[in-house]
Structure 1
Amino acid sequence: MTRLQKHYLYLLWRNKGFSLLGIMMAVISTYAGIALVATAGWFISAAALAGLTAVTAMAFNYLTPGAIVRGFSMARTAGRYAERLTSHEATFRLISRLRSDIFRFLSSRFWVEQPFDRHQTGSRLLQDVQHVESIYLSAISPGVVVVSVSAGYLGVLGYFLPEALMIALPVVGSVVVIMPLLYSRLVIQPQDELHTLRSTQWQTASSLISNFRTLVLHDRMVKATDDLTTQASRADGLEVKAVNRQQWIAFLTEVQLVILIVAVFYLALNAASLQTLEPANAFMLLLLSLGSAEILVTACPVVASLQLGIRALNRLNHVAESEAEETSEPRELITSKATQSTLQLSDICYQYPEQPDPIFSHLNKQFKGPGWYWITGPSGSGKSTLMALLAGQLSAQVGHIQVVSADKQFPAVMPQSIGVLRAQLRDNLCLHDDYSDEQLWQALSIVELDQWARNLPQGLDTWLGDGEWQPSGGETKRLGLARILLQDRGIILLDEPSAGMDAALAQRLFARLAEHWQQKLVIVNTHQTFLMQSDQTEIPMSALITT
């Protein structure tokens, strides 16, 4: 059992009061609904039979059955209302804590923004959180209801019509156990493969669009589009296969339940003709079977929700652990007796998958601090790839990167795309660390955002992001720089930090940053060489690749 699975069970146990109450209310409301249908069927048929003669009509008690029907109706309504309140309260308590714990666990790792921008990671993360949230409402609670209804239905059949158990037991067992196992084996696995294939398809399409010029220049456009078409065809075929299997299993389940209903009603009518069962009870058993079948048919979705939730917890646990591994494995951090920060690339070779030529082949380079290094070159020359290798976001196929850090920390990384969280300005600056308001205002002042922040409706407490206060492109870049200032690492990596900024503003900022970071090792990937100071070093990518 993974760490997050254990944590989910722990949170479920912590909220056992509302969780158990919600399950109990779900069982009560379901029982009341089925009993209402069965009792109403008995009442109607008994009243009809009693009305055949004047004597039985006068002797028939209409009041007690009518009161029982009203009682079940009220119990069903009250139970459903109480079940909604308690189960949703239990779910909200559970997922609110689970969400915060999952993202706290992720954020406690070394902060790298870029991996979470990947479609495969981002979409899967969102879907997995939704699957985990539905475990209680869509699997645990309805699962208990299915088992309770199965037991109750078989118990009533055993009391009124014991001979029907020979048919009911295998059918109920098949519908509740065998068909869900078959569903999980034949349907869930293709659906999981389908999601992975759709993610790969999206990545291929995104890569095709973003690298259109490179693909055309290298005459690889036709192959790229053929690969995308092949992936789409495979995904469509897998989706059709999964839907067909799902429909067949649903059809087989419903056929078994129809056979059960017909068989029970036939045996009940036969027992009534032999006067071993009251005729009205035959109709009661028919409606009881119909009401129970409506619940039993949900067994397959219940098991599917449970399995999807468990797999989601496994994947979230894997993401949480692999992100840390992914960001730390490519580099070796040396902290003992380090007085100056250094980045040493030794024999680095890196080639993108399905690309004919490597980006770097046996690259050796040392960046020694304090000082600024500006990596320059045209688009597509490998600047961002080099930054991703230095940041640990990519792993070289050959060679290693040695990080000698005076402050015993990995480099602070500012990616090209700065994510604005839907949260307060202070949270967008602090991320998972804690800083004082004085530190926040100092960082904002350095990047000339202090006046902008003071003009916001609630200052540092103003919410940013989608649907809230949205900073411009240049303001977003400066927020990214403010984050790096707050982290105060000995080594700083900046990937196109001035893109979208006014030239005069960028010159002022980087002149100020050069003074503020004069004792640090700063490596900048840029097209804008006019921002360099006279004592800083320019390294063209062409010089790195040829050495």
Structure 2
Amino acid sequence: MNNVKRHYLKLLRQEYKMALLGVLLAVITAYSGIALLAVSGWFISAAALAGLSAVAAHSFNFFAPGAIVRGLSMSRTAGRYGERLSSHEATFRIISNLRADLFRLISRLNWNEQQLNRHETSSRLLQDIQNIEAIYLSAILPAAVSFLVMVAYLVTLYLVLPALIPWVIIPLIFATFVMPWLYSHRVLQSESTLHKRHSEQWLSASALLSNMRTLTLFKRLKHSGEYLQKQAQESDNYESMAVQRQQQILLLTQAILIIMTVLIFWQGLLAFQQGQLEGAYAFMLLLLTLGSAEVLLNNCPALANLGLGLAALDRLQDNLTNNTETLDKRTFTQTDSSTIGLHINQLNYRYPQQKADIFKQFNLRYDGPNWIWLNGSSGVGKSTLLSLIYGQLAPSAGSIEFTGLNADEIRFMPQRIDILRATLRDNLTLNITASEQAIRHALNIVELGEWAKRLPNGLDTWLGEGEWQPSGGERKRIGLARLILQNPQLILLDEPTAGMDSTLAAQIYSQLRAHWADKIVLCSSHEHDFITTRDKRLELTALKKTVS
């Protein structure tokens, strides 16, 4: 998929028969509705005028117009039903192929750099895909109907009274082209800002809920709540202002269409007074204009949806262009010595969406088994460094070298531990084979031995969605037990005891030290209480990393 726009057009061409059928039936529905309104107006006014004279009333043909009205009503109903079936069928076919292709490609890309697990990135991606899916149904279809209705309206005016064309051409151009462009500009202008504000609000709410205990202890909960409330108020105010601006353009468009309707009726009455037009036709033109104006008004959101869809295609193309499949740039060297080592030389790294470097000419050299603690405030690069060492991210410059081990002997425990909908045994062993004795031993090290015994079916108890749900601390310890069973030589831990009681965390660290005495363990943590004099410590600050 070299070009996303080209691929979308390809999918649209594959379903062009169903898509064109949807457009055709939508146009028939619009034409039938407008014609029904116009013919009904002509019929009622002509019948009323004919009733003023006994002779005219006797000779007036009531049956043919009545049949036309019934025919138009039936064609409008049938057209609307058929249009819904065909247009939605075309949309669903395009969506199914588009989603399959996009998610297949996205799954192969290095989304670690784009931080797909973050709310802003993932919600932006999903919103873009929804906007792309709406291009046909919410943009192309109504825009095509509006344009063909405008053409048919001008042709009808030319056939009935050509002198009306100069009176409507300017307001018609404004209502059909200029105002939809302004409306689309307003929508696109505010869409990105609104998405950013909502993402920031979500992140603040998530941080508040995650750190409620700490905020309460330090008496900062009220302040954080007030800040979140302020964010929500500002977001609501901006959204309200954006909607008001869009509504103003819609109201202005309606005003232009009303002016056009008044001009048509005025000129129709003048033509009637001058004998150029029958009185019933003047009312027919009035209702014809009102019916057409209702359809033309839909062109404003149609062009806006087209703009949103095209912008989403461009963003997705940029992501796909900037993203490549993950390439492992780490090097592994085997030595005769049993010593294992990690050497980082002149490492540079920056996330593509950020301007500032996370690491610049960063160096680290460590040989031999022991623990090294990564400390520092949030955002200084602790998790990023672990991802670079693990190979999820690739440095832009510099090197990461390992001695005495290979890639399969490195394991990483992230902050979020995923629980499969499977038994506890399967959640612990994953793709390896382990005896029950080894599993029990791993659970005892992380203080889950008694917990596992109390489960309804022991190791065969099902965990996950709709099953037995472990708590946050239990999830962390399940993650640690997985690492124990996998028996790697280099272990990367990202906040492994977050949310645990300090006494429990100290006990687990003590037992892990004994079990991993011959390993290199890099542990990212905000806590300093568990660091011993034998450990190495890496204090991370903004572009200032020191080893002690």
Q: What aligned pairs does 1:366-405 form with structure 2 within 5 A after superposition?
A: 366-367=365-366, 374-376=371-373, 385-392=381-388, 400=398, 402-404=400-402
In structure 1, what is the Cα distance between the partners aligned to 2:273 and 2:408? 86
Contact 1:347-1:398 at 8 Å conserved across structures: no
What is the DSSP-based 3-state SS (H/G/I as helix, E as strand, rest coil) of the residue aligned with 1:276?
A: coil
Alignment correspondent of 1:267: 267
Change (3 A) 1:151 1:360: closer
Shift of 1:147: 0.7
What is the DSSP-based 3-state SS (H/G/I as helix, E as strand, rest coil) of the residue aligned with 2:248?
A: helix
Alignment correspondent of 2:282: 282
Alignment correspondent of 2:417: 418
Alignment correspondent of 2:449: none
Shift of 1:401: 5.2
What is the DSSP-based 3-state SS (H/G/I as helix, E as strand, rest coil) of the residue aligned with 1:103?
A: helix
Alignment correspondent of 2:493: 494
In structure 2, what is the Cα distance between the partners aligned to 1:452 and 1:82? 58
What is the DSSP-based 3-state SS (H/G/I as helix, E as strand, rest coil) of the residue aligned with 2:363?
A: strand
Check if 1:6 corresponds to 2:2: no
Q: What aligned pairs does 1:420-459 form with structure 2 within 5 A after superposition?
A: 440=431, 442=433
Alignment correspondent of 2:354: none
In structure 2, what is the Cα distance between the partners aligned to 1:347 and 1:80? 66
Contact 1:11-1:98 at 8 Å conserved across structures: yes
What is the DSSP-based 3-state SS (H/G/I as helix, E as strand, rest coil) of the residue aligned with 1:117?
A: coil
Alignment correspondent of 2:343: 344
Change (3 A) 1:359 1:68: closer
Once the two structures are aligned, what percentage of the paired residues are identical?
42
Q: What aligned pairs does 1:80-479 form with structure 2 within 5 A after superposition?
A: 80-110=80-110, 112=112, 115-200=115-200, 202-203=202-203, 238-322=238-322, 324=324, 333-335=329-331, 343-346=342-345, 364-367=363-366, 374-376=371-373, 385-392=381-388, 400=398, 402-404=400-402, 413-418=412-417, 440=431, 442=433, 465=465, 471-473=469-471
Change (3 A) 1:469 1:85: farther
Change (3 A) 1:414 1:158: farther
Shift of 1:273: 2.7
In structure 1, what is the Cα distance between the partners aligned to 2:498 and 2:168? 71
In structure 2, what is the Cα distance between the partners aligned to 1:495 and 1:192? 32
What is the DSSP-based 3-state SS (H/G/I as helix, E as strand, rest coil) of the residue aligned with 2:343?
A: strand
Contact 1:272-1:282 at 8 Å conserved across structures: yes
Alignment correspondent of 1:433: none
Contact 1:345-1:365 at 8 Å conserved across structures: yes
Shift of 1:302: 0.8
Equivalent position amino acid for 1:304 in 2:
A
In structure 1, what is the Cα distance between the partners aligned to 2:187 and 2:383? 42
Contact 2:91-2:133 at 8 Å conserved across structures: yes
Contact 1:343-1:401 at 8 Å conserved across structures: no
- Count residues with an aligned counterpart: 506
In structure 2, what is the Cα distance between the partners aligned to 1:381 and 1:139? 47
Which shifted more, 400-409 or 211-220? 211-220
Unaligned runs of 5+ in 1: 353-357, 431-437, 457-461
Shift of 1:381: 6.1
In structure 2, what is the Cα distance between the partners aligned to 1:248 and 1:443? 68
What is the DSSP-based 3-state SS (H/G/I as helix, E as strand, rest coil) of the residue aligned with 1:116?
A: coil
Provide the alpha-carbon RMSD of the alignment: 5.4
What is the DSSP-based 3-state SS (H/G/I as helix, E as strand, rest coil) of the residue aligned with 1:333?
A: coil
Which shifted more, 125-134 or 167-176? 125-134
Equivalent position amino acid for 2:312 in 1:
A
What is the DSSP-based 3-state SS (H/G/I as helix, E as strand, rest coil) of the residue aligned with 1:61?
A: coil
Contact 1:375-1:526 at 8 Å conserved across structures: no
In structure 2, what is the Cα distance between the partners aligned to 1:281 and 1:444? 91
Change (3 A) 1:152 1:241: same
Shift of 1:125: 2.1
Change (3 A) 1:398 1:337: closer
Change (3 A) 1:28 1:52: same
In structure 2, what is the Cα distance between the partners aligned to 1:273 and 1:361? 84
Unaligned runs of 5+ in 2: 352-356, 444-451
Shift of 1:210: 6.5
Q: 1:70-112 deviations in whole A, cap 9, x for unaligned? A: 1111111111111111111221222222222222222102464
Shift of 1:336: 7.8
Contact 2:112-2:392 at 8 Å conserved across structures: no
Equivalent position amino acid for 1:344 in 2:
H
Which shifted more, 301-310 or 81-90? 81-90
Shift of 1:6: 1.9
Change (3 A) 1:452 1:259: farther
Contact 2:114-2:121 at 8 Å conserved across structures: no
Contact 1:31-1:149 at 8 Å conserved across structures: yes
Which shifted more, 282-291 or 95-104? 95-104
In structure 2, what is the Cα distance between the partners aligned to 1:233 and 1:95? 36
Question: TM-score, structure 2 length as denominator?
Answer: 0.73
Contact 2:374-2:522 at 8 Å conserved across structures: no
Shift of 1:166: 0.5
Shift of 1:443: 8.3
Q: 1:342-361 deviations in whole A, cap 9, x for unaligned? A: 64334679999xxxxx9999
Equivalent position amino acid for 1:402 in 2:
I
In structure 2, what is the Cα distance between the partners aligned to 1:114 and 1:413? 19
What is the DSSP-based 3-state SS (H/G/I as helix, E as strand, rest coil) of the residue aligned with 1:402?
A: strand
Change (3 A) 1:173 1:492: farther
Shift of 1:56: 2.1
Which shifted more, 343-352 or 143-152? 343-352
Change (3 A) 1:401 1:214: farther
Contact 1:493-1:524 at 8 Å conserved across structures: yes
